[in-house]
A and B are shown apart, each in its own frame.
Chain A
Amino acid sequence: MKAYISENKQLVLAYGCCLLLFAIQFFPFVLRHDVYIRIHDTLEGEWIWFSSIVDYGVALDTDMNTIIPSFLGGIPRFLFPSGLSFTVLFIYLFGTIGGYLVSSFVVHLIGFVGAYGLFKKYVFTDENEKHWAILIASLFSIIPFFITFGASVAGQPLLLLAFLNVLNKRTNYWEYFAIIAFPFYANIVWSAAFVNLMLVGVFLYSYQKQNAGIRFLLLLGIMDMLYLAVNYHLVYATFLADLPLQRDEYQLTINEVPGFLKSIGETFYILFIGSFHVGTFVTLPIFVLGCFNLRNKAVKYLMILALGIALLNGFYLFLVPILEKIHPLIISFNIKRVKILLPIIWMGILAYSIKDMYSFSKGRNLSYFVVFALIVSTLFANDEIVNNYRNMLGFQRKPDAHQFFASDTFEQIGNFIGREKSDYRIAHLGLNPTISQYNHFLTIDGLQAMYPLEHKNLMKTIMEEEMAKDYELVRYFDAWGNRCYLFSAELGKENRAFMISKDQDVTIQSWAVDTRLLNEHGVDYILSTVVIENAENLDLNMEAIFKNKDDFWKIYLYKIESNE
């Protein structure tokens, strides 16, 4: 077989490509102070849940009566994530932002090491194919994984490699460590059931290897027990606590009406783009290669799996009424999260397809072109990489972490109010409550995956008149409610309604929330990024405006005038 360049050169180039990709990805992190971190579901919520349990010293708290005061009027600690995780350890050691950067590096590194090991050992077994394992692992490692979920996605190849080695009796001890460590760095809700599904599938496929099978199942059992032990707060909240939660009243079909065309669109989206919780990247080129290689059984089955998962996601709303009848917990569990397996499935399709095509000269050119194109499009589709380079080049589009949290400004606000932060609560309009939570103010609103239903009902009463102006708000809040924010019919419910920057100068004409009721529940101030035209009618008095050159926000501080 004629090679275009020698095997050694191929290897050097592949390693060079890998190092370059890591450098491109993590060079902006060296800047540290100006780093952009994804806001959606990360800085605006989930990452701050981890950070708060560290800040309040309750990461390893086992008392189910402990309350974390800064969120939604104060909610039980057991409704927050477990402290037994590498994520929390990194935050403890390096702080909220530093912890994110370290965790991001570790997650991507685990992704590379696992994918390289898996493909090198089980797909590209010839020495002259080794560079493909490096290239595909490099591609896998630059997928924009959702860092809040730790190694839930990035760790799958390493976990699969470990279990395959156990099954094939080729263990080297590190496999046991990887299997035991995985539950400490993965999200139980998003990964446990589906990782089990993948591993049980592998086990059944290789059922004939009896002796190794027992060890395989034993390790799987240990991993599952560890999942439950690590997430004992969640187990308590779901099965033991006598506390009605907002999740108990999810009505997903009200919020999103099922439609055939919409479902087709969603199917294509999940198939060719994925989901940001999992890691978005353009998979169309892999799909095309997969179609060329359908004669390969592995490719065929993996393509069927990818298509099945995309269809399940696309048409999930049609299944909801049936699943609800079986058991309401299934809705809360949300089986469409099986899409968390898509990145490893796509990488499998790519690896097997390239292995087949590599023996043809035309296939070889196409393989290099597709992998190169995938690397480029994945880099450019990674919002953190893109926005960090935009910031570095002076074309900023989104606030970096420090601009978002505006800690100096919030210190000024605290000083201006001049009271102990534990004496009053804050509500928000036009900005994310998580910013106050990060800055250790007590809030009445926020983004939470689980909180008491009673609090949702209270917020609904507070906003009743305002929500009556727009049925979309009622539907959005009633059916879901994880974003327990103070809504305004004029601003709407989209994320941009809570990201109003200092350059926008927005005024709302008429806001109708029950400020008396807010005040009765300890709220003395409203932080707003918009001017409230009818503030006087709401007994609101604008006390001060905070605008710092480096901040993303311009914050109006309104005080609720008490009748006392």
Chain B
Amino acid sequence: MSNLDKILNNKWLIALTYFIVGAVTLLSIYVFIAGGDFIAILDTLY
């Protein structure tokens, strides 16, 4: 089993990836609806 195969068969890792990617996408849509600027908001985080 290759390294990539092992990763893709790790349910938790894949679920976490779906969660992170989905959360970022939903956040960008939310910021649009809320009237903000996605990049500007992230800009203030650091």
Q: Which residues of A contact B (CB under 8 A)?
A: 262, 265-266, 268-269, 273, 276, 280, 282, 284-285, 288, 292-293, 295, 356-357, 360, 362-363, 366, 369-370, 373, 376-377, 380-381, 383, 386, 390, 395, 397
Contacts and interface: CB of A to CB of B under 8 A. Distances in A.
A390 B35 contact: yes
Interface string B1-45: 011110111000010011011101100110110010111001101
A373 B14 contact: no
Contact of A362 (B9, B29, B35): B9
Given A265-B45, A370-B21, A373-B25, 13 more contacts: A269-B46, A273-B39, A273-B42, A276-B39, A284-B20, A285-B21, A285-B24, A288-B21, A293-B4, A369-B18, A369-B22, A376-B29, A380-B29
A293 B43 CA distance: 29
Contacts of B31: 380
Nearest to B25: A373
A380 B24 contact: no
Given A265-B46, A362-B9, A362-B14, A288 B20 contact: yes
Nearest to B7: A292
A360 B8 contact: yes
Contacts of B9: 362
B9 to A, nearest CB: 7
B3 A262 contact: no
Contacts of A288: 17, 20-21
Q: With a 10 A CB-CB cut-off, give which of A366, A381, A390 has the most chain B CB atoms.
A: A381
Interface of B: 2-5, 7-9, 14, 17-18, 20-22, 24-25, 28-29, 31-32, 35, 37-39, 42-43, 45-46
A491 to B, nearest CB: 19
Contact of A284 (B2, B4, B18, B24): B24
A357 B21 contact: no
B4 A357 contact: yes
Task: Name, among A280, A295, A380, A390, the residue most crowded by chain B CB atoms within 10 Å (CB to CB).
Answer: A380
A282 B8 contact: no
Closest 3 CB pairs of A and B: A265-B46, A380-B28, A377-B28
Given A266-B46, A373-B24, A397-B35, A356 B17 contact: no
Nearest to A398: B37
B28 A360 contact: no
A369 B18 CA distance: 8
A265 B24 CA distance: 18
A266 B37 CA distance: 19
Contacts of B22: 369, 373
A423 B4 CA distance: 72
B37 A383 contact: yes
B44 to A, nearest CB: 10
B8 A269 contact: no
Given A285-B24, A366-B8, A373-B21, A381 B14 contact: no
Contacts of A295: 2-4
B17 A366 contact: yes
Contact of B28 (A265, A268, A376, A390): A376
A366 B20 CA distance: 12
B34 to A, nearest CB: 10
A399 to B, nearest CB: 14
A254 B42 CA distance: 25
9 contacts: A269-B42, A295-B3, A366-B17, A373-B24, A380-B28, A381-B28, A381-B39, A383-B37, A397-B35
Contacts of B7: 292
B40 to A, nearest CB: 8
A282 B28 contact: yes
Nearest to A372: B25
Given A292-B4, A360-B8, A280 B39 contact: yes
A291 B11 CA distance: 16
